[in-house]
């Protein structure tokens, strides 16, 4: 950790096994959360965003999810998320919470390889865990993200700030 004036710069590198490269993480004035706290925070919300790459173009989809052990589980239909999962694609997943009244928030980013299943026992298990589709229509496919890299930040809005723009 480096100190510059009143700001704190935290720099660390983590090796991402799926992409085989080091990812450099730098934060200025944010609290970097440990992996265990990130996992705990993910269990306190149920809406997140899954990001996939479609021909090198990022696509981000809101989704309802649950944490099952080290995996993130969601239900989807026969669309882009399922195709990415069936291909074993590395995806990003983000969830957060903002408390406007207390002027604090957090964000957790998970990266991992996805897998998909339409097996009835997998769909039943996901539903028994509390996963429900966010969008209408048939959503009878399970996407499971095996988390390989987890990082998070906690932040506080300064008194001079009007808070987040949502």
Q: How many CA atoms lie within 13 A of 2 on its CB side?
A: 7
| Residue 96 structure tokens | 């957060």
> How would DSSP label each residue in 92-107?
EEEEEEEETTTTEEEE
Element (H, E) at 113: strand 104-117
Separation CA 38–CA 61 (nearest Å): 21
With a cut of 80, say whether residue 155 has pLDDT above it. Answer: yes
- All structural domains of the chain: 34-156 (2.30.110.10)
Q: Tell me what pLDDT residue 161 has.
A: 57
Each residue of 9-32: pLDDT tens digit? 344 444 445 445 444 445 566 788
Confidence at residue 82, expressed as pLDDT on a 0 to 100 scale? 63
pLDDT tens per residue, range 51-110 = 988 888 888 999 999 999 999 999 988 776 667 766 778 999 999 999 888 888 999 999
Q: What is the pLDDT of residue 157?
A: 74
Predicted local distance difference test score (pLDDT) of residue 77: 82
155 vs 36, higher pLDDT: 36
Within 8 A by CB and 6+ apart from 103, the residues are 156, 157, 159, 161, 163
Closest CA to 143 of 92, 56, 84: 84
13-27, 108-122, 152-166: range with lowest mean pLDDT: 13-27
In whole angstroms, give the CA distance from residue 73 to residue 63.
10
67 against 2, higher pLDDT: 67
Selected residue with higher pLDDT from 32 and 159: 32
pLDDT value of position 112:
94
Largest separation between any pair of C-alpha atoms in the chain: 57
Q: In which element (H, E) is residue 12 found?
A: strand 7-16
Cα 132 vs. chain centroid, distance in angstroms?
17
- Please state the pTM of the whole predicted model: 0.77
Residue 132: pLDDT over 60: yes
In this predicted structure, which of 72-81, 89-98, 111-120, 138-147 has the lowest mean pLDDT? 72-81
Map residue 54 onto helix, strand or coil.
strand
């Amino acid at each position: 950790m480096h100190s510059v004036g009143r700001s704190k710069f935290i720099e660390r590198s983590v090796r991402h096994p799926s992409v085989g490269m080091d990812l450099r993480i730098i934060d200025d004035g944010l609290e970097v959360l440990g992996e265990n706290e990130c996992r705990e925070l993910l269990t306190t919300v149920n809406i997140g965003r899954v990001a996939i790459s479609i021909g090198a173009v990022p696509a981000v989809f809101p989704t309802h999810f649950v944490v099952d052990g080290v995996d993130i589980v969601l239900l989807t239909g026969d669309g882009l998320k399922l195709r990415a999962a069936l291909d074993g694609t590395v995806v990003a997943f983000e969830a957060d919470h903002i408390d406007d009244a207390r002027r604090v928030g957090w964000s957790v980013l998970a990266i991992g390889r996805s897998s998909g299943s339409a097996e009835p026992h997998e769909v039943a298990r996901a539903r028994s865990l509390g996963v429900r589709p966010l969008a209408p229509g048939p959503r009878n496919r399970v996407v499971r993200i095996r988390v390989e890299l987890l990082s998070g930040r906690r932040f506080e809005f300064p008194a001079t700030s009007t808070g987040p723009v949502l």
